[in-house]
Amino acid sequence: MKKALLILSSLGVLVTLVFVLISCGGSDPKPSKAKVSFASSSKTVQESAGTVEVKVLLDKTVTTDLVVSYSLSGTATQKAGIITGDYSITGDAGEVTIPKGETSASIEISIVNDDIFEQDETIDITLSDVTGNEAQISDTNNEIDITIQSDDPGSVVSLTSTTTLTTDETNRAVQVQVQLDNASPEDITITYTLSGSAVDSVKANAQQINADYAIQGGGTPGELIIPAGETTGSIRIKMYSDFELEDGDTTTLAFDPENIKITLSAASGNGALINSNKSIFNINVNQENGRAILLEWNYDPKVDKDTVDMDLFLWLGDLGSNKSTFGIATGSANAGYDGPEFVFTPNAIQNASFGVTYNYYEGNVEPMQFTSTFIDFTNLQFESVSNREVFTGTYTKINRNPWYTSGLNTLIIEQTFNITDGVYDTPSAISTPSSKSRVATNTSMNVQKFRTWKSIPRSLVRR
């Protein structure tokens, strides 16, 4: 009986123990780790914000200091030593410490405020690790994207304060200054148009006409690049001296300058804009000094049955060269035109020999008398009649010949003169050839299709 009671008693204790164990859940649970995260996943600041604090949070306190590691990326650059950048980190970049008993710490970022216009840039911070066993990186809000908005306006493109220039054809180094109100971190490309009565070299080549000027330097005419970090650029223009006496407005008595109009039309790169109030530059180009040759002939169309037509040609060679090496420089030969004919030599030529031919193109007048008049042109004025040099010549019908005469290969020069160190000498008298009055061919020059030289050879032009 006692044995039975003992067994029952033991069973009771066992049941009670099992009940207690079941009620208590078996054993104490393992405590969860604290979570490290950012307060938000994005933040926007101005370039002028100064110091920006980014909070790193802990969802509960821990018993030891926590060192949280993070990485930096994004389009903004970190300042390092003397290397400029968009921001810098206060303290040790890549680590922030949350003291024990605290639930937050701050990453301090100093934003660099410069004067350069920039697109919005970003700083991307990613939590990567934490020391100890009491905390871990949260699965959410473990990255933050900080956007830095520039407070600088885009570069404004303007011409300099002087927007009109008066010069002449001898000027080989005209520069039109273009400026930015502030430097850009990237190249600024400016496009411009050329217009006016003067003709640029690109247009002249396309139309096969003579050019008055050319855009110099590298790049493409009509485009100017101001490199990153710089605030000025120049459109460089070279004027052409030529064998033409040019008048920008033929409806007036005075010699008016030709015009080059430069218009800034567009800009690209870093928000650049054209200042519409300073986008046009005008260059007035006066005719340069020189000497004109005027060919005139006398006849009475009421008496003479046939119209008389003469042509004037100017040949050019190096000073002292044999005349057989001359090339045609310019001419005045208008079909059905009864005169006078006219050519011009510019003062830009310093040393050269010239030959003049007076062609009795058609007519039946005999003797046919003509004059050549040499007239200095200085400061947009012809010299007075009394100072001009006048030469006379006489042709007979045997001197007639059209533009081209088969088999005539010898250059016939009726008159010569030189320019030595920029000074014209006295022209020779007119020498009347025994037959014909001009040449059919001259070395490689086909005078059937002569054209004025676009520019004077550099060897002949003043330096």
Q: Is the pLDDT of residue 17 over 50?
A: no
Phi, then psi, of 334 in degrees rounded to 5? -110, 120
Mind listing the pLDDT tens digit for each residue in 103-155?
999 999 999 987 666 778 999 999 999 998 999 999 999 999 999 987 777 78
Q: Is the pLDDT of residue 194 over 90?
A: yes
Give the Cα separation of 144 and 123 in Å (integer): 8
Mean pLDDT of 208-219: 84
pLDDT band with cut points at 50, 70 and 90 for residue 443: very low
Query: CA Rg, the chain, in Å?
Result: 45
Give the pLDDT score at 365. Answer: 84
Q: Is the pLDDT of residue 24 over 60?
A: no
Mean pLDDT of 151-176: 86
Mean pLDDT of 3-21: 45
Give the pLDDT score at 11. Answer: 45
Does 156-286 match 34-149 at the fold level?
yes
Q: How far apart are the first and last CA of the chain?
A: 142
pLDDT band with cut points at 50, 70 and 90 for residue 403: low
Mean pLDDT, the chain, integer: 82
Give the pLDDT score at 162. Answer: 79
Q: Count CB neighbours of 198 within 10 A.
A: 24
* CA 50-53-58 angle, 5° bins: 175
Mind listing the pLDDT tens digit for each residue in 281-327?
999 999 999 999 999 987 665 665 567 888 888 888 776 655 556 77
Q: Is the pLDDT of residue 95 over 90?
A: yes
Distances (CA, A) of 319 to 280, 352, 455: 43, 4, 18
364: left (phi over 0), alpha (psi -120 to 50) or beta: alpha
* Count of alpha carbons within 13 angstroms of residue 126, beta-carbon side: 7
Mean pLDDT of 190-194: 96
Tokens of 404: 């081209």
Class of domain 34-149: mainly beta
Give the Cα separation of 326 and 315 in Å (integer): 6
Q: Is the pLDDT of residue 25 over 70?
A: no
For residue 411, which of 344, 302, 315, 346 has the smallest C-alpha distance?
A: 315
Dihedral of CA 80/84/88/91: which sign? positive
For residue 351, which of 411, 293, 417 has the smallest C-alpha distance?
A: 417
66: left (phi over 0), alpha (psi -120 to 50) or beta: beta
Give the Cα separation of 339 and 294 in Å (integer): 10
pLDDT band with cut points at 50, 70 and 90 for residue 183: confident
More confident residue, 7 or 235: 235
* Count of alpha carbons within 13 angstroms of residue 187, beta-carbon side: 6
Q: Is the pLDDT of residue 20 over 80?
A: no
More confident residue, 119 or 439: 119
Q: Which residue in the block uniquely carries the two structure tokens 């247009």?
A: 203
For residue 58, which of 119, 118, 114, 142 has the smallest C-alpha distance?
A: 142
Q: Which residue in the block uniquely carries the two structure tokens 């030969």?
A: 333
For 27-31, 136-140, 452-456, which range has the lowest pLDDT when averaged over its residues?
Answer: 452-456
Mean pLDDT of 186-215: 91
Give the Cα separation of 377 and 344 in Å (integer): 9
For 3-12, 38-47, 257-266, 378-387, which range has the lowest pLDDT when averaged over its residues?
Answer: 3-12
Q: Is the pLDDT of residue 356 over 70?
A: yes
CB 219, CB 190: distance < 8 Å? no
Highest mean pLDDT among 61-75, 117-131, 218-232: 61-75
Mean pLDDT of 377-385: 93
CATH 2.170.190.11 describes domain 156-286 = no
Give the pLDDT score at 19. Answer: 44
pTM of the model: 0.65
Q: Is the pLDDT of residue 74 over 60?
A: yes
Phi, then psi, of 42 in degrees rounded to 5? -155, 160
Phi, then psi, of 405 in degrees rounded to 5? -125, 115
Domain edges within the chain: 34-149, 156-286, 290-460
